[in-house]
Amino acid sequence: MSDKLTEIMAWKRQEIASLLREVSLPELAAFNAMAPKPPSFAAALRRDDGKLAVIAEIKRRSPSAGAIAAGIAAPDQAVNYRAAGASALSILTDEKFFGGTLADLSSVTSFFREHRPAVPCLRKDFMVHPIQVLQAREAGASAILIIVRALTDEEIAKLFEAAKFAGLDTLFEIHTEAELERAVKHGAKIIGVNNRDLAIFKCDLGLSERLIPLFPKHVIAVSESGIFTGADAARVQAAGAHAILCGEALMKAPDTAALISEFRNR
């Protein structure tokens, strides 16, 4: 694990320590049965027209880019992304490093329930415990993130099972062949290649080009980070990506719809 990721994960475990309690699978299933059903994240990523699905990220800042859009209101940006044609949203809910909150996720999903159509939302955070899965479901998420390199196999299994019982999809994030093997072993159905090396915060789209062709055929492939142009999107699509996850470029784009169209039409 990189030094920065180690720092973030250590903080996350400390941050949620006071919230920890046993979260049973029946509790998750019961809440899922009672709560409004979120739109399918997985279904949004498999487009029938053969074009790339775009997961548009709401991100105010990051350790690599610094301030991106500090004052943005999450629902406003979500509406902008929906109008621009985003297939799904990724909403950062980590406050210390990314300037997001769980309330951002809740406000977006609540808005979509009242002003349809809804767009599936990924809770983008550093997940370590099933309590965070329950929080995600309560906030209206459609999916959670599992960062393979940051977790033990036991932690991954618990989070993945919790997500299933909560009715959530799971995006497994990898950076190496060994992490891909671990994700596949756990039964991952959606796997994302993070093109950013979290040790040095440098992006290399060659990572997606190398790893995505190794994915099992049934897996939905996502390329994350470092995608700024239609040419970048074309590279990872040629490697087999079904979707891209893009934050910084879309947050800064003067014309979000034009950039999403460029991603899809190359």
Considering the domain boundaries, does residue 195 fall inside one?
Answer: yes
Q: Considering only CA atoms, which of 56, 76, 88 is closest in space to residue 260?
A: 56
The answer to whether 223 touches 241, Cβ cutoff 8 Å, is yes
Q: Choosing from 62, 179, 225, 248, which is the catalytic residue?
A: 225
Tell me whether residue 57 is one of the annotated catalytic residues: yes
Q: Choosing from 59, 142, 158, 223, which is the catalytic residue?
A: 59
Tell me whether residue 194 is one of the annotated catalytic residues: yes
Tell me whether residue 173 is one of the annotated catalytic residues: yes
Tell me whether residue 217 is one of the annotated catalytic residues: no
Instruction: Flag whether pLDDT at 1 surpasses 60.
Output: no
Q: What is the pLDDT of residues 141-175, one digit of tens each?
A: 999 999 999 999 999 999 999 999 999 999 999 99
Considering the domain boundaries, does residue 24 fall inside one?
Answer: no
Q: What percent of the chain has pLDDT over 70?
A: 97
* Pairwise CA distance, residues 176 & 207, whole Å: 8
Q: What domain range is 50 assigned to?
A: 3-13+39-264
Q: What's the structural domain count of the chain?
A: 1
Considering the domain boundaries, does residue 20 fall inside one?
Answer: no
* Pairwise CA distance, residues 233 & 174, whole Å: 19
Per the listing, tokens 């920065």 go with: 4
The answer to whether 143 touches 41, Cβ cutoff 8 Å, is yes
Q: Choosing from 124, 208, 209, 223, which is the catalytic residue?
A: 124
Q: Considering only CA atoms, which of 252, 173, 184, 183 is closest in space to residue 208?
A: 173
Tell me whether residue 4 is one of the annotated catalytic residues: no
Tell me whether residue 225 is one of the annotated catalytic residues: yes
**Model pTM score:** 0.95
Domain containing 124 — which CATH number? Answer: 3.20.20.70
Mean pLDDT of 15-28: 96
Q: Choosing from 80, 87, 142, 194, which is the catalytic residue?
A: 194
